[in-house]
């Protein structure tokens, strides 16, 4: 996957016209590697019912 972020480049050694790879983007934005997907987990639902209501609403919005 290639993404053009030429207006955000800080490294003048990379030509602005060249698309950056994912690895280059990660270095450019100082992204940390996610070693454990659990690091991304967030307990945002107070109950299973609240989660289910959200999912029902999400599915119905995709059907329209």
Torsion angle defined by CA atoms of residues 31, 32, 35 and 41, in that order, rounded to the nearest 10 degrees: -80
Give domain status of residue 1, yes or no.
Answer: no
pLDDT of residue 1: 47
Residues of the domain holding 50: 6-63
Per-residue pLDDT of the chain (64 residues; tens, 9 = 90+): 455 555 555 555 666 667 889 998 899 899 988 899 998 888 898 999 999 999 999 999 998 6
**Distance of alpha carbon 14 from alpha carbon 25, whole angstroms:** 11
**Distance of alpha carbon 42 from alpha carbon 53, whole angstroms:** 18
Q: In total, how many domains does the chain have?
A: 1
Give domain status of residue 17, yes or no.
Answer: yes
Q: What is the pTM of this model?
A: 0.38
Give domain status of residue 41, yes or no.
Answer: yes
pLDDT of residue 60: 93
């Amino acid at each position: 996957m290639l993404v053009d972020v030429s207006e955000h480049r800080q490294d003048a050694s990379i030509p602005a016209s060249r698309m950056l790879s994912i690895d280059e983007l990660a270095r450019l934005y100082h992204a940390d590697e996610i070693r454990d997907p659990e690091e991304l987990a967030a307990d945002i639902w107070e109950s299973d019912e609240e989660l289910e209501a959200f999912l029902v609403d999400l599915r119905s919005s995709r059907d329209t």
